[in-house]
């Protein structure tokens, strides 16, 4: 049985989601921020015959994120999405979205696959991160300037205002290293919630590479989040970058899929 969830289901819903907090980063964060009954956000749950929750589907504006720990009614979740005239995106773990894909394939315009990894156990005892500083809102301008100078972030919309807002409201935190009086390397979190956070914006000025600065920023960030008992996860496309993350304790947990869906006329 699939039904909409309400605030009364919150404890039941979160006990299910927080079994895998990194995998459910976005669902947990959106529910914590906006709840169950906003016009732009809805949450459905699938229950087995004994009343046990087995799958979740979250709608945030035009994007749908499904999650299930095992078998689930993939056709039923697909029908909910297809009935929405604003359905424009689907994203989630490949193990889940692959079961829904056949039912929405006629509407898929594009799909993208990235590696998805989480830090199970930090392996960085020998890394000296004492030179790493934590950013405050006053550092937003330098952070945005550094990130916008990196070719890999050319497609991103990194602005001073967004950086400052994230640092002020706690949805993001950033760490950096300075050399010669300028910010030369950084690592940040995004989509932070009570149980997990995503690592983003790992970057080093090209003139200061191969000094271990990005690793130091990552380690400082991971150490702080681990002390707060939060699971860390990240996306990556480049296996070479993945090797760096794996050296400090990240392990692949699958692929994250992003589908662009053709809207109904």
What pLDDT, on the 0 to 100 scale, is given for residue 37? Answer: 87
Judge contact between 176 and 216, C-beta under 8 A: no
Helices and strands counted in the chain (H then E): 8, 12
Q: What is the pLDDT of residue 120?
A: 79
pLDDT in tens, 225-254: 999 999 999 999 888 778 889 999 999 999
* Backbone phi, psi, residue 264, to 5°: -70, 145
Give pLDDT, residue 177.
Answer: 98
Confidence of residue 20 (pLDDT cuts 50, 70, 90): very high
* pLDDT for the residue 243: 85
Contacts of 21 (CB under 8 A, 6+ apart): 28, 193, 195, 196, 230, 231
| pLDDT for residue 157 | 78
Q: What is the pLDDT of residue 47?
A: 96
Q: pTM for the full model?
A: 0.88
**Tokens 């009614």 -> residue:** 73
Name all domains of the chain by residue range, CATH numbers in brackets: 2-115+256-261 (3.40.630.30), 121-248 (3.40.630.30)
> What is 5-40 written as a DSSP string?
--GGGHHHHHHHHTTSTTTTHHHHHHHHHH-SB-SS
């Amino acid at each position: 049985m699939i039904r909409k969830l309400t605030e009364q289901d919150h404890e039941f819903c979160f006990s299910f989601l927080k079994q895998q907090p990194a995998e459910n980063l976005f669902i947990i964060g959106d529910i914590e921020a906006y709840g169950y009954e906003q016009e732009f956000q809805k949450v459905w749950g699938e229950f087995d015959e004994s009343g046990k929750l087995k799958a979740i589907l979250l709608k945030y504006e035009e994007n749908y994120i499904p999650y299930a720990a095992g078998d689930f009614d993939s056709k039923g979740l697909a029908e909910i999405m297809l009935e929405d005239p604003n359905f424009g995106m689907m994203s989630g773990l490949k193990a889940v979205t692959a079961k829904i894909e056949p039912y929405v394939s006629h509407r898929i315009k594009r799909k993208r696959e990235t590696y998805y990894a989480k830090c199970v156990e930090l392996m960085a005892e020998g890394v000296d991160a004492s030179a790493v500083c934590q950013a405050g809102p006053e550092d937003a301008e330098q952070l945005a300037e550094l990130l916008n100078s990196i070719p890999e972030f050319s497609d991103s919309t990194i602005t001073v205002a967004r950086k400052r807002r994230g640092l002020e409201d706690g949805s993001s935190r950033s760490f950096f290293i300075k050399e010669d009086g300028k910010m030369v390397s950084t690592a940040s979190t995004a989509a932070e919630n009570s149980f997990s956070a995503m690592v983003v914006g790992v970057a080093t000025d090209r003139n200061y590479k191969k000094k271990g600065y990005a690793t130091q920023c990552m380690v400082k960030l991971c150490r702080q989040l681990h002390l707060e008992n939060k699971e860390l996860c990240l996306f990556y496309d480049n296996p070479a970058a993945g090797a760096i993350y794996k050296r400090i304790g990240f392990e692949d947990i699958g692929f994250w899929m992003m589908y662009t869906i053709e809207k109904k006329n």
